[in-house]
Structure 1
Amino acid sequence: MNNAAFNVLKILDRESGKISGEKISEELGISRSAVWKHIEELRDLGYEIEATQKEGYHVTKRTTRLLPYEIKRHLRTKKIGSEIHYVTTTPSTIWLGKQMIREIENDISEGLVILAEEQTGGLGRLGRSWASPAGGIWTTIVLKPSIPIQKAFMIMIAASVAVSRAIRKEYDIGALIKWPNDIFIGDKKVGGMHLELSAEADVIHYCLLSLGIDVNVSVEELMPVLNREVTSISEELGYEVDRTKFLARVLTEFERRYTLVERNEYDALLREWKSLSCTLERRVEIRTLKKTFEGEAIDIDDHGALIIRKDNGKIERVIAGDCHIL
C-alpha cells in the first residue's frame, strides 16, 4: 500500500466537504497529477471518491477491506496494534508471523498485528483445517510476555474473554466461551484461537496468538469445509458489519486483559472467563488421545485445565483434549 495515497486520504477525511486537488497538492508538496494518481490508488482499494472539476474530491464510501489505516481510525490501544502488517492472502497469518520472526525478530515490536483478508492454509488446534475465506478476521498478534511459562495459557484466557466481550458490546449478542479455545453463539461456533510460543527453560521468547472470527462470512461457504455447526456475526444479525471497527474493539478488549496477565492479576481474569463459559456446569464428553469419557464440567484450575466430575464421582483433570457439550 502506498503511504502517500493515505496522506491524501487523511486530508479528505479531515475535510467535512469537498477539497480541490490544488489544495491537496499544495499541502503535500506534490503535483496535481500525483494527487489524481493517489486518488485512483484509493479507488482500487475500494474507496468510492466523488470528483468534480470545480469543487474537488470527497469520499462517499469507505473500503470494506481490513486496511491498517481504517483500523487505526477506531483503535484506542497503547501497544496492541501499534504496528499492523496487512496482506490480501497468505497460507496463514501465524505462518507469516514465524517467517517475519526468522527474518527480523529483533525489529518486531510486541503487539504487532498481522492481518490477511483470507488464508489458504489456515490450521486450528491439533492441525485441523481452519476455513478462512474473505469476510472474516484472520489475524496473529506477536507477544513477548514476561510471565512464567506455565502461565502462558492465561493469554488464551485473555483472548477468549476479549473476543466474547467485543461481540457482546458491539452487537448485543450473547457470545460465550467453550473450553479450551472456541467462541460460540448459541450452539454454533463463531470463532477460535490458537497459541504458539518459543521458550527456553522458564523464559518465553515470544508468543504468536492467532484469532479467527467469522464476521461477514457465508455459513454455506464454511459448512462443507468444517462439517460442523457454525455461524457468523452477519448471519446472526442479518446484515454485514464494519470489520475494522469490530477488530479495533477486539484488540482494545484484549489489551485490557493482557495487561492483567502481565501484572499477574490472574484471579480477576479467571472469574471473568468463568462468567462467560458455556462449558462449566454442563454435562460434557471429553476426548483425549488416550480415552473418551463423560461427566460434569465443574471448574478450570489455575493452569487452565478443565475439572470434570465423572459419573462414578471421581474428579478428572483435563489438560488437553476435545470437549463436546451434551
Structure 2
Amino acid sequence: MKDTAINVLKILEENPGPVSGEHIAEHLGVTRSAVWKQIRELRRLGYKISSSRAQGYCLEATTSRLLPYEIHKRLRTRFIGKQIRYFDRTASTSWIGKQLASETDPEKLHGMVIIAEEQTGGVGRLGRAWVSPAGGIWITIVLKPRIPIDHLFMITMAGSIAIARAIRKEYGLSALIKWPNDIFVGDKKVGGLLLELAAEADAVHYGLLGIGIDANISLADLPPNLKDTVTSLEAEVGHEVDRVALLVRVLREFELRYQQLEDGEYDSIIREWKSLSLTLDQRVAIRTINKTFEGEAIDIDSHGALIIRRDNGKIERVIAGDCFQL
C-alpha cells in the first residue's frame, strides 16, 4: 500500500464522519483526482468506504487482509514483525525468504515476517504439499539465530506454543500441540509449523520458521482427503475470525518465547510445551523411515525427541517421523 493511500486512510480513520475529497486533497497537497484514485485502491484492498457528492468519503469498515499497515497498528514487539513483506498470492513464503536471505545479510532480515494471502505451492514437513487457500494465515519468519546449534529445534517448540496460546487467548479454544509440529483443536488439525535452517558445519546462516493456520477457511472447499482430519477457526467458533488480531497475538507470543531461548531458559520452554501437549501420556503409533511401532508417549527429551514406551517395555527415542494418536 502506497504512502498516499495510507495518508488518505489515516484521515478517514481520524474522522468518524464523512470527509470531503477537497479537504483530503488540500491536507495532503494532492489533486482530488489523486484522492479518488487512492480511494479506489483502498476499496480494492478490502476497505469499505462510502461516498456521496454532498458529504464526501466515510470509512465504514476496515479490511480483512493481513496488510502491514493494519498489523503494525496493533503490533507491540521488539523485532518480530518490524519488517513485513506482503503478497496477495505467491508460490511459497519460504521460497521468498530463501531468496531474500541469499541477496541480503540475514542479520538485517532478523524478525522479518513474509505474508501471503494465498500460496500456490506451500510445502509442509517431509516435502508434503500444504493447502494454503485465501482466508488462512500463511507466513514465514526470517531469523538469524543466536541460539546454540543443539537447541535450534526449540524454535519450532516456541512457535508451537505461540500458536496454541494465541488461539486459546483469542477464542477460548483448547488448542494443543501434537508432536512434532501440528496444532490441534479437538481431534482435528488447525495449524502447523516447519523450521528450515541454512547451515554448514557449526555455523547457522539463517532460519525460516513457516507457520500455517486455517483461520477463515471453508471446510467445504478442502480436498476430500483432508475434510475428516482438518478444521478451521471459523468452523470452530461459528464465525469469521479477525486474522490481524490473531497474527499479531501469534507474533507477540512467539517473540516472548524466542527471547526465552536466547536467554537460555530452555526448561521453561520444555515445561510449557509439555503442558500443551496432545501427545504425551497417550497411546500412539509411530512411523519412521525404517520402522513402524506402537506404544505410549511418555516424555520428550532435552533435544525434542519423543520418548515412547513400546508394548514390550522397550524405550524408543524418536527424533523424526509421523505420530498418530490411537
Q: Give your verdict on TM over 0.5.
A: yes
Displacement of 1:225 in angstroms is 5.4
Q: State the partner residue of 2:310.
A: 310
Structure 1 unaligned segments of length 5 or more: list them: none
Displacement of 1:311 in angstroms is 1.1
Is the Cα–Cα contact under 8 Å of residues 157 and 269 in structure 1 kept in the other structure?
yes
Structure 1 pair 264/317, CA: closer, same or farther in 2 (3 Å)? Answer: same
Q: Residue 104 of structure 2: SS of its match in structure 1?
A: helix
Q: Does 1:169 align with 2:169?
A: yes
Displacement of 1:108 in angstroms is 4.1
Q: State the partner residue of 2:4.
A: 4
| Structure 1 segment 29-40 matched on structure 2, within 5 A | 29-40=29-40
CA deviation map 1:16-54 (0-9, x unaligned): 322222332232222222111111111111111122334
- Mean CA deviation greater in 122-131 or 46-55: 46-55
Alignment partners' CA distance in 1, 2:37 and 2:57: 13
Quick one: which amino acid aligns to residue 216 of structure 2? N
Quick one: which amino acid aligns to residue 12 of structure 1? L
TM-score, reference length from structure 1: 0.96
- Mean CA deviation greater in 166-175 or 224-233: 224-233
Q: Does 1:63 align with 2:63?
A: yes
Alignment partners' CA distance in 1, 2:71 and 2:319: 36
Q: State the partner residue of 2:20.
A: 20
Alignment partners' CA distance in 1, 2:58 and 2:255: 35
- Mean CA deviation greater in 49-58 or 191-200: 49-58
RMSD: 1.4
- Mean CA deviation greater in 105-114 or 229-238: 105-114
Q: State the partner residue of 1:301.
A: 301
Is the Cα–Cα contact under 8 Å of residues 219 and 227 in structure 2 kept in the other structure?
no
Displacement of 1:280 in angstroms is 0.2
Is the Cα–Cα contact under 8 Å of residues 150 and 303 in structure 2 kept in the other structure?
yes
Quick one: which amino acid aligns to residue 91 of structure 1? A
Alignment partners' CA distance in 2, 1:221 and 1:307: 37
Q: Please identify runs of 4+ aligned residues in structure 1 that moved more than 4 A.
A: none
Alignment partners' CA distance in 1, 2:142 and 2:198: 11
CA deviation map 1:131-183 (0-9, x unaligned): 10111011000011111111111100000000000000000000000000000
Quick one: which amino acid aligns to residue 259 of structure 2? T
Alignment partners' CA distance in 2, 1:76 and 1:270: 25
- Mean CA deviation greater in 72-81 or 303-312: 72-81
Quick one: which amino acid aligns to residue 198 of structure 1? A
| Structure 1 segment 105-120 matched on structure 2, within 5 A | 105=105, 108-120=108-120
Is the Cα–Cα contact under 8 Å of residues 148 and 203 in structure 1 kept in the other structure?
no
Displacement of 1:122 in angstroms is 0.8
Is the Cα–Cα contact under 8 Å of residues 49 and 59 in structure 1 kept in the other structure?
yes
Q: Does 1:157 align with 2:157?
A: yes
Displacement of 1:227 in angstroms is 6.5
Is the Cα–Cα contact under 8 Å of residues 50 and 59 in structure 1 kept in the other structure?
yes
Quick one: which amino acid aligns to residue 203 of structure 2? V
Displacement of 1:2 in angstroms is 2.0
Quick one: which amino acid aligns to residue 196 of structure 2? E
TM-score, reference length from structure 2: 0.96
Q: Does 1:132 align with 2:132?
A: yes
Q: How many residues align?
A: 326
Displacement of 1:224 in angstroms is 2.4
